[in-house]
Amino acid sequence: MTIVIDKLSISFEGKQVLKDFSFSLPASGVVCIFGPSGCGKTVLFKCLSGLIKPDSGEISGLKSKRLSMVFQENRLLPWCNAVDNVALVVNENRELARAALTKMELTSETNKLPAEMSGGMQRRVAIARAIVYDGDLLLLDEPTTGLDAELADRIMKILIKSWQSRLVLLITHELTIAKKYADIIYTVEGPPLQIKNVSE
Amino acid sequence: MNQKRKGKMHSILKGLAVLLFWLAVWALIAHVVNKELIFPVPQEVVKRFFIIIFTAEFWQITFASLLRILVGFTCGMVAGILLAMLMHANRFAEALLAPLIKVVRATPVVSFIILALFWIVASSLPIFISFLMVLPVAWANTLSGIENTDRHLLEMASLYKVKKLRIWQKIYYPSLKPYLLAAINSGLGLAWKSGITAEVIAAPRMAIGSQLQAAKVNLESADTFVWTVVVVVLSIILEKLITALINRRQMRSLSEEKS
């Protein structure tokens, strides 16, 4: 079932970020939204995830879906180690959490607190938390921030593989990542957000 | 290790020097005043102190006061925390109860003691007064802690549909800890002071406050000093004990987290 965004309007922090924005998403595959910072991509994500309520318009096909997300910021609990941060979203199942961290090449960091890890490691813990959650839609907001090109490539492969046959919505400003992993690429400008399919 | 021992020795010596300085100031004032009834000399107070603490009654009285104040303090903390949680969850409850708590906070403790004397038996009055003084402190600190909890973490938990109880346990509680510690520290001092004041006025049987009042009536100023010292020492011991307990708990949960 596809997700349809119909005439969505949102004002955020005094700015009209979305104005009568319409857009539809397929049931599966990797859809990339590529564009400069500050044009309203993250606000669109927050609206899709239900963290911001739109002023008008509606989104259909999303109600029954379980969402997983890699936020722009890592949003890790500073007082919990890597395993507990990941296990939080799977009913404290530490085995699943450890397996996800292993996929993220963090086997020896599982007991470390976020403050004891580098920015790149923290990012991978946030990604592990997203892939361990059994969702229908994965929202990725600049997932490879803080990772070097080689590691970013490996992590993206694992991410896409673990979300096979489900929908991944990816925000990035790295064209190489967009071209390599996305089935559909949209470029955006704004605010207010305007979208264009450039997959061809 | 040696350096650590040296540092400890140094701080003990410093503490002793400070104590001796203030004892000298006390002796000097007593010498200038030269009236045992108004300002006793330190030797007399120390003598009375050792006489009093070696009686069985002293321990019964101290334990009874300690128990009353601890019960009032604990009830005040629990009620303050629960009220803050309720008021955070329900805006109507906040509108209804916030003015009441602010009034309690602004009212002088003596007004409550005199009013409550009509409603409550003397032995329970210190419990009620300690409770009443601690409640607004616990409420205000808990509410600040809840309001200052990282919104980003709460958004993340809500997106992943983390259960409410686990959100409290994993996000709110660790964020609240420093606020609760501050509430315990200031609340305990308040509970002591207000509880002992209530005992002085209500004069229940077996109470430090009643002993203070009796010493005043009998013009035994050395005893007044002794009981005041007891209150101060107990207050410091209690504060240190609770801080040590919380720190131990924190260390234990940190090591559990690590394993």
Contacts of B252 in chain A (CB under 8 A): none
**% chain A with pLDDT above 90:** 36
CATH number of the domain that A62 lies in?
Answer: 3.40.50.300
pLDDT number for residue A179: 86
Q: With an 8 Å Cβ cutoff, are B160 and A79 in contact?
A: no
Name every chain B residue with its beta carbon within 8 A of the beta carbon of A92.
Answer: 166
Q: Which of A51, A79, A80 sits opposite B159 (nearest CB)?
A: A51
Identify each DSSP E strand in chain A by its residue range.
3-12, 15-25, 29-34, 56-60, 67-70, 137-141, 167-172, 184-189, 194-197
Residue with tokens 């911001």: A52
* Parallel, antiparallel or unpaired: strands A56-60 and A3-12: antiparallel
One-letter amino acid identity for B58?
Answer: F
Q: Which of B153, B166, B174 sits opposite A75 (nearest CB)?
A: B153
Could you tell me if residue A155 is inside a domain?
Answer: no
Among candidate residues A189, A195, A85, the one with its CA nearest the CA of residue A130? A85
Percentage of chain A with pLDDT > 70?
98
Residue pair A29/A169 in contact by the 8 Å Cβ criterion = no
User: Which residue intervals of chain B are DSSP H helices?
Assistant: 2-33, 42-53, 56-89, 91-106, 109-119, 125-147, 151-159, 164-167, 173-202, 208-217, 221-258
Predicted confidence (pLDDT) per residue in A148-181, tens digit: 888 988 999 898 888 888 899 998 888 888 888 8
Give the separation between CA B147 and CA B88, rounded to whole angstroms. Answer: 8
User: Which one has a higher pLDDT value, B138 or B235?
Assistant: B138
Q: How many whole angstroms separate alpha carbon B40 and alpha carbon A189?
A: 83
Give first-to-last CA distance, chain A, whole Å.
24
Q: What is the ipTM of this complex?
A: 0.89
What confidence category does residue B238 fall into, taking pLDDT thresholds of 50, 70 and 90? confident
Tokens 């006489």 identify what position? B51
pLDDT digits (tens, 9 = 90+) for A18-58: 888 888 888 888 999 888 877 788 888 888 888 888 898 88
Contact B159 A88 (CB under 8 A): no
Q: How far is B168 from chain A (nearest CA, A)?
A: 12
The span from the CA of A146 to the CA of A128, in Å, is 15
Q: Is residue A125 part of a domain?
A: no
Q: Does pLDDT of B253 surpass 70?
A: no
Task: Tell me which residue in A69, A77, A129 faces B171 most closely, judged by beta carbons.
Answer: A77
Q: Are A29 and A167 in contact (CB under 8 A)?
A: yes
User: How many Å apart are CA A68 and CA A90, to the nearest integer?
Assistant: 12
What residues make up the domain containing A173?
1-66+137-143+166-200
Residues of chain B numbered 133-162 and touching chain A (CB < 8 Å): 152-153, 155-162
pLDDT on residue B216: 85
Q: For residue range B93-135, list pLDDT tens digits in order.
A: 888 988 988 888 888 888 888 888 888 888 899 999 999 999 9
* Cβ–Cβ below 8 Å for A75 and B155: yes
Which chain A residues have any C-beta within 8 angstroms of a chain B C-beta? 49-51, 66-69, 71, 73, 75, 77, 79-81, 84, 88-89, 92, 111, 113, 129, 133
Residue A94 in any domain: the answer is no
Nearest to A69 among B159, B162, B166 (CB): B159
- Interface contact B251, partner A, CB < 8 A: no
Q: What is the pLDDT of residues B91-104, one digit of tens each?
A: 898 889 889 888 88
Q: Is the residue at A179 inside a domain?
A: yes
| Gyration radius (Cα) of chain B, Å | 23
Q: Measured between CA atoms, how close is B247 to chain A, in angstroms? A: 15
CB < 8 Å from A in window 9-48 of B: none
Residue B140 pLDDT > 70: yes
pLDDT, greater one: A191 or B15: B15
Q: Phi/psi class of residue B258: alpha, beta or left (left: φ > 0; alpha: ψ in -120 to 50)? A: alpha
Number of domains into which chain A is organized: 1
Q: Is pLDDT above 80 for A71?
A: yes
Query: φ, ψ for residue B247 (rounded to 5)?
Result: -60, -40
CB-based contacts of B250, cutoff 8 Å, min separation 6: B177
Any CB–CB contact under 8 A between B205 and chain A? no
C-beta separation of A83 from A111 below 8 A = yes
Confidence of residue B208 (pLDDT cuts 50, 70, 90): very high
Q: Please report the pLDDT score of residue B217 as a whole number.
A: 85
pLDDT tens digits along B156-192: 999 999 999 999 999 999 999 889 988 988 898 889 8
pLDDT at site A191 = 77
Q: Which of A75, A88, A111 is the closest to B170 by Cβ?
A: A88
Residue A193 placed within a domain: yes
Q: Is A194 inside a domain boundary?
A: yes
Work out the pLDDT band at B254, boundaries 50, 70, 90: low
Residue of A nearest to B166 (CA): A88
The Cα–Cα gap between B15 and B61 comes to 29
Round the average pLDDT of chain A to a whole number and report it. Answer: 88
Asked whether the beta carbons of residue A51 and residue B171 sit closer than 8 angstroms, the reply is: no
What's the gap in Å between the CA of A198 and the closest CA on chain B? 30
Summarize pLDDT for B19-77 with one digit per residue, the tens. Answer: 999 999 989 998 898 887 788 888 888 898 899 889 999 999 999 999 999 999 999 99
